[in-house]
Amino acid sequence: DTEVTQTPKHLVMGMTNKKSLKCEQHMGHRAMYWYKQKAKKPPELMFVYSYEKLSINESVPSRFSPECPNSSLLNLHLHALQPEDSALYLCASSQESGIHTQYFGPGTRLTVL
């Protein structure tokens, strides 16, 4: 089973709202990732967690706050977002970080009004 699940599928929020995206995998993977994908563009890496510790932050604004409560779960907390943050947010996982196959979830379609 190579399934990564994400909730919610769709999210609409105002610029003053606080919301969270959730990601879960049960493959025993120790690396988890957040990507942002704009329409007709490739995914862009935001964060990497390895063994539940943040190992890479690709200079993401602080209005995006990741959290890894345990080895199966990954959250992305959102606060004071801008309309240009509207995008598809993808979670992925891999056995370990580095040169390992990454498996993606279906994504959360975020619209910021």
Two tokens, residue 53: 């510790």
Q: Binding residue for another protein (CB under 8 A) from 56, 60, 63, 68?
A: 56
Is 66 in contact with 49 (CB distance < 8 Å)? yes
Task: Tell me the closest approach of the beta carbon of residue 45 to another protein, in angstroms.
Answer: 5
What is the total count of residues that contact another protein (CB under 8 A)? Answer: 21
CA distance 90 to 102: 12
* Contact between 53 and another protein per CB under 8 A: no
Task: Tell me the closest approach of the beta carbon of residue 36 to another protein, in angstroms.
Answer: 12
